[in-house]
Amino acid sequence: MTRYALQRLLSWLMIQVVLTAPLKDSLTTRDILAEESLVVTDTYFPLSRIPPTRDDLQTSRFQGQTEDGLQVRQTGPGTAPLRAIPKQTQYLMSVGIGGRNWSMIPDSGSADTWLMSSTFQCLDRSHNQQDQIACNFGPSFTGNFSGGRIADEHMNISYGGGDSLNGDMGYEDITVAGITIPKQQMSLVTSASIRGNGIFSGILGLGMRGLTTSYTGSNPANDSPATAKEYAPLVETMSKKIAPLFSVAMSRDDNRSFISFGGVPPNVTTGEFATTPIRQMSMNGGPKHYIYYGIMPDNMKVSNTEANQTWPRPVGMLVDTGTTLNYFPADVAQAINDLFVPPAVYGGEGTFAVRCDAVPPRVEIGIGGKAIPINPSNLILPETKQSTPDGDYCISGVAANAGLSILGDAFLEELLVVFDVSDKKQMKFAQRTDKTAQ
C-alpha cells in the first residue's frame, strides 16, 4: 500500500480513449444524484499521491521484486495471506488525532485505524529488533491515548510475506474532513516488521466491523479467531453524525482526487450509477457477515482490435482503496495481459511487465447491469518505468492472484465510487465526466 509518480509518458497521450458514458439528455448530474439519494457535501478532503523513490524503483520485477507489507492485503491470524503488490502510488489524506494532523492512507481494505507510537520496536522479518529509522515511517505519536488505554486488549494485523503490526488499543478523538468522532477506538503500534516511505504515519481504516483485528490478552502469539474481539470502526461511529456512507473520486491528477463522508464531493460530475449489494463473506469457515467490501460482478470482458473474451459470473471481488493493482485469477490475468499490443510478460510475484508505450486492451467489469470500463491509462503504470536493453517497461495494472480478486486503485481511478454502509449495504459506481484522464 504506498507511494508514487514520476513523469507522464508523451506516447501515452496519443492513445487516449474516452470512456465516459454519455448522460441521458433528460438528466443532469444533480438529477442523477437525486435519483440515487446522494447529496453533495462539504465534508470532503483532497487526496494526494506519493511519488516513488529511486529505492522503490530498484525493487522492480527486473531485479527480483520485494514485498512491502503495507501493500499486501490484511488477513489477521490464522487466515491465508493474499499476494503483495509492487511498490506503487498510494493515496494519502490528513487526519487530526491528538491535537495534530497526520498523513494517513484511507484504506477500505482494513478497518483498524492506527498510528506509529514513538516508542515502537522496528523488527525485521525474523523479528530481530532494528533501529526505528529502518522502518522508515513518518512522524510518530508521542504520549498515551487521551481517552485511555483499553486494558487486556491489543491489535494484531498480519500481512502477506510475513510482515505484521502489533499495538495497544485505546481511545482518541479523530477529526476527518472536519468531522470529529470523540473517543474512537484505535491503536498505537508498539512493534512493526513492515516498512514505510518516510511520509505516512498510519492507516485510516474504512472497513466494516468484521474486519477489525482486536484480540483479548497481551500476547499476540496466543491470538486466534476465538480470542478476536470486534469493535465499532470509524465508518460505524461516524454514521452517528452523518449519513452512513463515504465516497472516493481518485485520479492521477491530484487536483481531482477526493474522499467525501456522508455524500459525494463537489466538482465531480458523472454519468449514471451502477448499484450492487455488498456481499457477506465467511472468514476461517465461520458464519457469513460483512467483512470486506465484496461485490459479485455480472461478467467481465476484455478485447482489442483482433480478439475478445468474456467471463460470465466471475468470482467475487473486493473493492480496496488501499491496493494499487487489480488482482484476478491467474488465467484471467494472463488472458488480459496477452491482449496488450505487444503482449505483457509475466514478471513474478503475480505481476506482469509491459512496454510502457504498449496499447492496452479494453477491460469492462459488469456491475449492476452496466459495463464499467477500466480507464486505459490505468492499465499501464508509468510510475514504475524501468529502462532495459529491450526498451522501457512498466508494471501492468492487472496482476494474478491465487486468492480473492481485488479491484484496486487501477480500477477506481476516474470513477466516483460510493461505499454505503447503511442497512442497504451497497456500492455505487459511476464514470466521471468532469475530465478525461490523460
Q: Would you list the domain boundaries of the chain?
A: 10-42+270-431, 46-238
Whether 71 has a pLDDT exceeding 50, the answer reads no
Grid cell in block for residue 216 = 483479548
pLDDT for the residue numbered 42:
92
pLDDT for the residue numbered 89:
66
Report the alpha-carbon angle 175-179-181, nearest 5: 60
pLDDT for the residue numbered 29:
61
CATH fold for the domain made of 46-238: Cathepsin D, subunit A; domain 1 (2.40.70)
pLDDT for the residue numbered 192:
93
Q: Is-same-fold flag (10-42+270-431; 46-238)?
A: yes
Give residue 30's pLDDT band: very low, low, confident or very high (50, 70, 90): low
CATH superfamily of 10-42+270-431: Acid Proteases (2.40.70.10)
Average pLDDT for residues 319-330, to the nearest whole number? 92
294-318 pLDDT per residue, tens: 999 999 999 987 888 888 878 889 9
- Cβ proximity of 5 and 366 under 8 Å: no
To which residue does cell 468522532 refer?
Answer: 181
Whether 200 has a pLDDT exceeding 50, the answer reads yes
Report the alpha-carbon angle 169-110-351, nearest 5: 135
The secondary structure of 172-235 as a DSSP string is EEEEETTEEEEEEEEEEEEEE-S---SS--EEEE---GGG--EEESS-GGG--GGGB-----HH
Average pLDDT for residues 4-32, to the nearest whole number? 37
How far is residue 317's CA from residue 390's CA, in Å, rounded to a whole number? 35
How far is residue 337's CA from residue 140's CA, in Å, rounded to a whole number? 41
pLDDT for the residue numbered 305:
79
pLDDT for the residue numbered 314:
80
Give residue 27's pLDDT band: very low, low, confident or very high (50, 70, 90): low
pLDDT for the residue numbered 236:
96
- Cβ proximity of 105 and 388 under 8 Å: no
77-134 pLDDT per residue, tens: 433 323 333 444 689 999 999 999 999 999 999 999 999 999 999 998 788 899 999 9
